[in-house]
Chains A and B, each alone.
Chain A
Amino acid sequence: GAVVSQHPSRVICKSGTSVKIECRSLDFQATTMFWYRQFPKQSLMLMATSNEGSKATYEQGVEKDKFLINHASLTLSTLTVTSAHPEDSSFYICSARITDSAAFFGQGTRLTVV
């Protein structure tokens, strides 16, 4: 299947700093990527839809100024958690879907804000 690479896999940052997470589709072009957040022992919650060359679409309740998404190319989307706080600690997963086909997921990023 298609490969989606997410980096870093783990990051620890101090409260108030910003963290950038990268999501790359390695062997296909993705005009749309999706960012999910997963709390321990829970399911994946869609945060936003990232569209190449245009603004991201955020789900209700997700702060667009805190979770900045940039989809600058057909193979790269980034999620920046700005002014991170301990409550932002979570597992973040990106996904890219081949149109009319399956979605493929990155390995996830464990963010810990101290």
Chain B
Amino acid sequence: AQSVTQPDIHITVSEGASLELRCNYSYGATPYLFWYVQSPGQGLQLLLKYFSGDTLVQGIKGFEAEFKRSQSSFNLRKPSVHWSDAAEYFCAATSSGNTPLVFGKGTRLSVIA
């Protein structure tokens, strides 16, 4: 079955420190991959996406993610975290066409001073 795994439920980092959120997928073929961010009581905002081509993708708010086929991973990174980055982060995958997204369970990011 198609699935997305985010191994870390909660991560705490210091402001200014680097960040990496992990995401692994299980799909029959290389899926389309996404990272979304959700603030409390809000919808989801798209940070970045990978469909094909360059395996390092740049997104909004200084985030980037790297697709590694050999590891079935699509980890999200940011070199320097800001307090405003505290939120819930979801990795998601889908196939081509108009299919729904399959979400990981999410990783809650806390940022401390």
Contact = CB atoms under 8 A, between A and B. Distances in A.
Interface of A: 1, 4, 6, 31-32, 34, 41-44, 46, 49, 91, 93, 95, 97, 99-108, 110
Contacts of A44: 44, 90, 103
A43 B34 contact: no
A105 B44 contact: yes
A102 B49 CA distance: 7
Contacts, number: 59
Interface residues of B, number: 25
Given A97-B98, A100-B96, A107 B43 contact: yes
Interface of B: 34, 36, 41-46, 49, 51, 90, 92, 94, 96-106, 108
Contact of A6 (B43, B96, B103, B104): B43
Contact of A43 (B41, B43, B46, B104): B104
